Every structure is written in structure tokens, then in C-alpha cells.
């Protein structure tokens, strides 16, 4: 193996140390030596003395042994961390809910610190009465709970031209999935009254944040009245600062840039504002130089999260759990297929639960691995019948110059050692 392979080098070290300890444990547990496994035959400290008392940690953090399950950044991607993005460690998570503490961050002018008492939400423009709400006002409206994924349109964007970053966290980690509580945007619009807007069919709402970037996006009225949520909590607790505390907008199934954090203003307009983020960014230049705009919905997509480059197989041949995530901005995931031979043959994976609209689905494929190399792929299908395309199919339509909306099928080359690498295959 070459020393120039940086990603796998880390994995290999993990792999070797991991394999050594697991191997020893497996030996002891599997074929107990004469003296037996000391973890069983000898009284351990934890079985004899005290553990930590209550209140030792008033707000709990993951145990130190999980300290590598953290967000990570790719420094060369952006000019500066103030206006940048990091990645959710999806390779190390299971289930579908993303803990807030390791859910990816994307800031345009840094994550601001705002107290609830300093929060104001204004609604103006083509409304009957322009209004201002305090945080205390907002929590008096009827509330809803929904679980939705939030995916940055640039997720997998670095992979357009070829396999580049070695790990599911880096290739697919601009995503999180949380259960939100909040007030529907429709309720707030109706509170201000929409008679003044006349025919709502061609109207828009412009939403903007309170931070210095003033990130703002235009959303067609139909979406605004459909399922958008003005959210205060995620996964049962207040939003984290980095996700827009105290209030953010949730725009189910649509690109993360529209999920305005620290939302301070909603303006009803008769045309899109065509702000910086919806013209110079978040538009998709095709091969002929013409660019698509208003590409809001995130198409169906999936990825195997384990095994993967950061989550190699450590246990050798035998029972192996292949698992991953699937999602669609057009509705619920209906089916996920997995291939272990690079897309020659496919088998249907098991969904841990029936798919939910605009939320992550967890899939599993339990196999008896024979120890030979695999080219692992997954392929999502959503309720519209749409099937996740290959990278070649996407490039045939869009060319090579796109950045956003890369929902191609991902390939992990899992070697007989159990290590995995991000590759493209024919």
C-alpha cells in the first residue's frame, strides 16, 4: 500500500488498532482460553466501585470514547471559516435523527448569538397589516411537529468532476434530519392577512435572516402556504446557535440555503427579489453555459454510510451489516436497492421504517461477506417513481460544470482488508 494515500492511511491505522483489539476480544469471547476472558472472570472496577453521581454533568455530552464522532471541515473549500460549511459524521451515526451537536453547519457571516428577548420577526409587504412578533408571541400560535431532512444544495458538489473526498462524511455529510416544533408559515401569513396580496398564485414571500450576511431567498407563495415551518426547537430542545437559535425557517425537501436561520423578516412580494443567493449562487450552469435557476427541490438520493472509507470492516468475513441513508425532496422513500458488484446486480434493502415525506430513511442489507472485494452502491426510489441516477446519467444531461444538486449513485470500493475508498466505476 502506498503512503501517499492519506484518507485510507488514517483508516488503516484505525483499522489495525481496531482489528487488534477486536481480534483479541473475539478470540477470548469466541473460544475462551483456559483461564477465560478476564473481563468476565475478574471483578472489574466498575463492578465493584462507584460510578459518577447524578449532576456530575448537568447537560450530558457523548462519552470520551466517542470523541471522533464530530463535525469536520474541509479547509481548502472556502476562503474562511466565517463563511463556510462543515460536515455531519454520517458514517458513525445510526437511525435517522441527527443529534444537533454534530449536525452540519453552514454560515455566511458566522453564527450569531441572539437572546430570545432580542428576537423580532417582521412580516410586511403585500399583507393587510404589517406585524412584528416577539419570541413570546410566536410560541402562542398553534404548534406542529415534523421531522425533515435539511440538505445543502452543494452536498456531494465536490464530486462532480470525479471521486475526490474519501469518506461519506465529506461526500454526503451536508445533511441533517431533525424533529422540529414550530408554527406553520401559513399561520403567520394569515395572521397578517393576505387579502392585500390579491391573487396568490403569482405571489412570493421573501425571507431573510438577522445576521450580517442578510441571507435572503424568495419562495413561491404556494410553498409558503403548504408546509414551511417557523421552528423553535429541534429534537426536543431549543435550536442550537449554529442552526439559527432562537428561530429558523424550515422549507421541507428544498435546498438548505432557503432554511433561513435567525429569520427576522417575511415580505410578501409580487415577484422574486433575485437576491445574491438565488442568482450568483444556487443556480446550475449547464454544458451550453445556460444556467437553471429556482432549482429548489432536492432529488432522491442515498449513500451507504457503513462500510465506507471512515468506517472500514474490522471483523473479517462473515455476517456484515451494510447500512445507509436515503431521502427525497419530492416525498417519501419507497425503496432502496444495494449492489455489492458496482451496479451489475442489485438486491432490495430493508427499510428500518416506512419512508416519511422529506425525511431521512435508514436502510439495512444484512449479508454473509465472503471477504472478497466489493463495489458498494445504493440506489433510492421515491414515491413519485423517480430512481436515483448514476453520475454518468447526470453528467450526460448537465455536463461537468454543475456544483449543486449532485444526487448521483456513490461507489465505495471495499477491499478484502475491509478498508474502503471513494471511487468511480464504469
Asked if 83 is part of the footprint of another protein (rule: CB under 8 A), the reply reads yes
The grid coordinates of residue 318 equal: 462473515
Binding pattern for the stretch 369-398 against another protein, x by CB under 8 A and - elsewhere: ------x---x-x--xxxxxx---x---x-
| Closer Cβ to another protein, 30 or 199, answer by number | 199
Task: Name the segment binding another protein (CB under 8 A); options: 26-34, 241-249, 260-268, 317-325.
Answer: 260-268
Residues 91-110 binding another protein (CB under 8 A) are 108-110
Asked if 151 is part of the footprint of another protein (rule: CB under 8 A), the reply reads no
CA distance 130 to 117: 20
β pairing state of 263-269 and 204-209: antiparallel
| Closer Cβ to another protein, 159 or 244, answer by number | 159
The residues near 167 (Cβ < 8 Å, ≥ 6 apart) are 7, 91, 308, 309, 310, 422
Residues 328-367 binding another protein (CB under 8 A) are 330-331, 337, 341-347, 356-357
Asked if 15 is part of the footprint of another protein (rule: CB under 8 A), the reply reads no
CA distance 166 to 412: 9
| Closer Cβ to another protein, 275 or 416, answer by number | 275
Binder to another protein among 96, 100, 184, 257 (CB under 8 A)? 184
Residues 218-237 binding another protein (CB under 8 A) are 220-223, 225-227
CA distance 347 to 380: 12
The length of the chain in residues reads 426
Binder to another protein among 47, 52, 54, 79 (CB under 8 A)? 79
Q: How many residues bind another protein (CB under 8 A)?
A: 139
Exposure string of 91-115, with b = 16+ CB inside 10 Å and e = fewer, is: bbbeebbbbbebbbbbbbeebbebe
CA distance 252 to 256: 9
**Cβ 264 to another protein, closest distance in Å?**
7
| Closer Cβ to another protein, 42 or 373, answer by number | 373
Answer whether 273's CB lies under 8 Å from 266's CB: no
Binder to another protein among 297, 316, 367, 395 (CB under 8 A)? 297
Cα-Cα-Cα-Cα dihedral sign, residues 319, 322, 323, 329: negative
How far, CA to CA in Å, does 295 sit from each of 44, 150, 284? 58, 15, 8
Asked if 165 is part of the footprint of another protein (rule: CB under 8 A), the reply reads yes
Binder to another protein among 132, 196, 352, 353 (CB under 8 A)? 132
Residues 20-49 binding another protein (CB under 8 A) are none
**Cβ 320 to another protein, closest distance in Å?**
20
How far, CA to CA in Å, does 287 sit from each of 79, 245, 353, 401, 409? 27, 40, 39, 7, 21
Amino acid at each position: 500500500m502506498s503512503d501517499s494515500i492519506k484518507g485510507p492511511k488514517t483508516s488503516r491505522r484505525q483499522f489495525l488498532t481496531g482489528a487488534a483489539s477486536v481480534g483479541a476480544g473475539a478470540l477470548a469471547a469466541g473460544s475462551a482460553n483456559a483461564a477465560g476472558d478476564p473481563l468476565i472472570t475478574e471483578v472489574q472496577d466498575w463492578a465493584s466501585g462507584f460510578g459518577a453521581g447524578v449532576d456530575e454533568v448537568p447537560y450530558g455530552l457523548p462519552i470520551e470514547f466517542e470523541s471522533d464522532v464530530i463535525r469536520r471541515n474541509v479547509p481548502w473549500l472556502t476562503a474562511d471559516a466565517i463563511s463556510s460549511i462543515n460536515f455531519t459524521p454520517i458514517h458513525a451515526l445510526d437511525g435517522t435523527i441527527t443529534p444537533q451537536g454534530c449536525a452540519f453547519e453552514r454560515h455566511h457571516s458566522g453564527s450569531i448569538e441572539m437572546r430570545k428577548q432580542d428576537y423580532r420577526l417582521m412580516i410586511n409587504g403585500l399583507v393587510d397589516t404589517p406585524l412584528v412578533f416577539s419570541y413570546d408571541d410566536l410560541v402562542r400560535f398553534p404548534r406542529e411537529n415534523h421531522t425533515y431532512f435539511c440538505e445543502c444544495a452543494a452536498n456531494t458538489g465536490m464530486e462532480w468532476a470525479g471521486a475526490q473526498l474519501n469518506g461519506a462524511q465529506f461526500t454526503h455529510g451536508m445533511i441533517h434530519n431533525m424533529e422540529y416544533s414550530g408554527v406553520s408559515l401559513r399561520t403567520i401569513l394569515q395572521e397578517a392577512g393576505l387579502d392585500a396580496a390579491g391573487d396568490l398564485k403569482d405571489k412570493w414571500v421573501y425571507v431573510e435572516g438577522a445576521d450580517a450576511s442578510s441571507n435572503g431567498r424568495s419562495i413561491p407563495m404556494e410553498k409558503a402556504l403548504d408546509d414551511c415551518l417557523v421552528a423553535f426547537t429541534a429534537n426536543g430542545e431549543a435550536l442550537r446557535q449554529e442552526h439559527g437559535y432562537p428561530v429558523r425557517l424550515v422549507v421541507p425537501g428544498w435546498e438548505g440555503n432557503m432554511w433561513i436561520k435567525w429569520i427576522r423578516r417575511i415580505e410578501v412580494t409580487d415577484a422574486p427579489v433575485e437576491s445574491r443567493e438565488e442568482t450568483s449562487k444556487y443556480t446550475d450552469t449547464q454544458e451550453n453555459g445556460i444556467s437553471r435557476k429556482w432549482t429548489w427541490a432536492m432529488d432522491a438520493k442515498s449513500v451507504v454510510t457503513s462500510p465506507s472509507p471512515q468506517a472500514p470492516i474490522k471483523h473479517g468475513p462473515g455476517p456484515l451489516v451494510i447500512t445507509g441513508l436515503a431521502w427525497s425532496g419530492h416525498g417519501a422513500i419507497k425503496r432502496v436497492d444495494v449492489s455489492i458488484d458496482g451496479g451489475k446486480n442489485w438486491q432490495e434493502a430493508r427499510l428500518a421504517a416506512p419512508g416519511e415525506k422529506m425525511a431521512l430513511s435508514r436502510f439495512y442489507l444484512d449479508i454473509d461477506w465472503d471477504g472478497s472485494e466489493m463495489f458498494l452502491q445504493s440506489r433510492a426510489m421515491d414515491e413519485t417513481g423517480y430512481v436515483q441516477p448514476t453520475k454518468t446519467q447526470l453528467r450526460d444531461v448537465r455536463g461537468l460544470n454543475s456544483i449543486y444538486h449532485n444526487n448521483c449513485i456513490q461507489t465505495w470500493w471495499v477491499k478484502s482488508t475491509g478498508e474502503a475508498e471513494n471511487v468511480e466505476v464504469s
